Structure 1
């Protein structure tokens, strides 16, 4: 699992420029690659510290839960937030397991895609959500055919199927969203998720990444321009924070943020409440003005790790720099 996330960090760093270039949905702010990279980097760095005991170090779920929580706390943009939700949810059925099997992976992928879909107030097909779902369905189908086979060979077959289905789903994103079809590109978040899944396959099977995987994806050729730079600016800002809320207050916040803006994502950072019955939530929203949104959040709890960024930022096509101080918000 550590090798998987390390490979994903490297791959996303290498591909961040092209992911940024085709980032036009939900807003054309050109930073999906940067945001996924920074979110995955937070996950990998959390695993540089030892887990509390030897049992946890040999527990697949415990390792991923720690990585997922760190990713959630420092998630950037829609794509980073959804991946951190994916990671936290995938960890749950793997808790207490010393190794990954075909059945466990299929279960984890299913739990993860369901949680990711439910985290968004208004989930949209043709995004990384569709890629997660396709990978999960393919994994479940192959696992069912294996009839409980827990061999590494069966696991490899499930991984092959998941990545293959994820690629097909990425290709189909273009026809699922009008904005992508008009620009003749595939979804940036979907491509990022495909890369992450291929990194998992690579880490588990001990094989190289499939270099030809992205060949032919519309808009992804290195000769193509930064498509997002030619699109109209989006009004408003992106607001992100972590806040402790009761279940009722969380439902209230989601409803009122939906009224103020869109791209609302709320997911629990931890599964257990504090002594006062409140859960910690990671909150993400696109709104026209940050002030009313932050006032609303503060009326219900005290936010931490607050980040506000303009959606219509100056577009810089330069690749992301992997320095410790990098801080880029957006999709």
Structure 2
């Protein structure tokens, strides 16, 4: 797990510029590569020197760190996935095909449910395809804990994920018109191939990116050619009861879009409240912050302009 996350951090650093260049959905703010890199970096650093009791603990620590430092839609969904993957792995001393299949299945269910308006043609579709691919392996179904079954499971997950990435271009109109695949989907594919590399002890697949529309180095920066976006992205952490969280989600849905809410852990405090990570796109930060502060005390607040043309310092941490 530590090797996987460290490799994913380096790989996303190498690919972030190209991912940013094709980032046009849900908004063309040209930061998906950067957001995924910074999110996975938080996860990798959190476990770099960890000597955990089991695989689940490693993933839980990584997921929680990623959740607290998540950036953007893609980073938030990635962190939700990591947190969810940890649950079936609790107590496991090593990864196996059946456990990996269960982890991917849990991750895709949690990621789809975290979004108020989930859409196919995004990293959600790729995560779902990876889970289906992993679950199709006989060893994963029969409980085979051999290394061979684990290798077959991750191979099928990556193969299915790549096919899903190719499909994203035809699933969303904005991608079809721009002749590009979804940036978050490609980023997730790279992360999954890093997991494959860590499991089977082979380099990343050199032909993995071949044929992905818009992803050649010489392809234009599509994001910068799109109309400038208005509004801001607001992210924060907050502790709420499930009922209060549901009410806040409804308010955020009414005032903005790209609403993502997910519990950071399944451990409630003495009042029955859970820690949540919130993400929303709104016309102004004030409208979201007013609604959030009305129900709790937010922390780790992040505000970013939704524009590929925004200055580097347009991102604020409060």
> How would you bin the TM-score normalised by the shorter chain?
over 0.9
2:128 to 123, 133, 139: 133
- CA separation of 1:85/1:146 partners in 2, compared to 1, >3 Å: closer, same or farther? closer
Q: Which residue of 1 aligns with 2:40?
A: 40
Q: Which residue of 2 aligns with 1:194?
A: 189
Q: Which residue of 2 aligns with 1:291?
A: 286
* TM-score for the superposition, normalised by structure 1: 0.93
Task: State the 1:309 CA deviation.
Answer: 1.0
Task: Tell me if structure 1 keeps the 8 A contact 2:30–2:308.
Answer: no
Q: Which residue of 1 aligns with 2:29?
A: 29
Q: How does 1:179-328 map to 2 (within 5 A)?
A: 179-314=174-309
Task: State the 1:62 CA deviation.
Answer: 0.4
Task: Tell me if structure 2 keeps the 8 A contact 1:59–1:98.
Answer: yes
The runs of at least 4 aligned residues of structure 1 exceeding 4 Å deviation read 326-329
Distance 2:79 2:141 in 1: 30
Distance 2:56 2:207 in 1: 31
Distance 1:75 1:288 in 2: 21
- CA separation of 1:313/1:15 partners in 2, compared to 1, >3 Å: closer, same or farther? closer
Task: Tell me if structure 2 keeps the 8 A contact 1:131–1:166.
Answer: yes
Q: Which residue of 1 aligns with 2:100?
A: 105
Matched, 1:153 2:148: yes
Distance 2:290 2:141 in 1: 53
Any gaps of 5 or more consecutive residues in structure 2? none
Any gaps of 5 or more consecutive residues in structure 1? 52-56, 321-325
- CA separation of 1:269/1:145 partners in 2, compared to 1, >3 Å: closer, same or farther? closer
- CA separation of 1:50/1:155 partners in 2, compared to 1, >3 Å: closer, same or farther? closer
- CA separation of 1:145/1:314 partners in 2, compared to 1, >3 Å: closer, same or farther? closer
Per-residue displacement from partner, 1:240-295 (whole Å, max 9, x unpaired)?
Answer: 00001111110000000000000000001121111121111000000011101101
Distance 2:23 2:248 in 1: 28
- CA separation of 1:313/1:268 partners in 2, compared to 1, >3 Å: closer, same or farther? same
Task: Tell me if structure 1 keeps the 8 A contact 2:231–2:281.
Answer: yes
Per-residue displacement from partner, 1:33-80 (whole Å, max 9, x unpaired)?
Answer: 0000000000011113435xxxxx140000000000000000000000
Distance 2:282 2:29 in 1: 14
- CA separation of 1:268/1:236 partners in 2, compared to 1, >3 Å: closer, same or farther? same
Per-residue displacement from partner, 1:211-238 (whole Å, max 9, x unpaired)?
Answer: 1100111000000111010111111100
Distance 1:5 1:145 in 2: 23
* TM-score for the superposition, normalised by structure 2: 0.96
Distance 1:74 1:288 in 2: 23
Task: State the 1:143 CA deviation.
Answer: 3.8
Output the aligned Cα RMSD. Answer: 1.6
Task: Tell me if structure 2 keeps the 8 A contact 1:76–1:328.
Answer: no
Distance 2:286 2:314 in 1: 21
Q: Secondary structure at the match of 1:149?
A: coil
Task: Tell me if structure 2 keeps the 8 A contact 1:146–1:154.
Answer: no
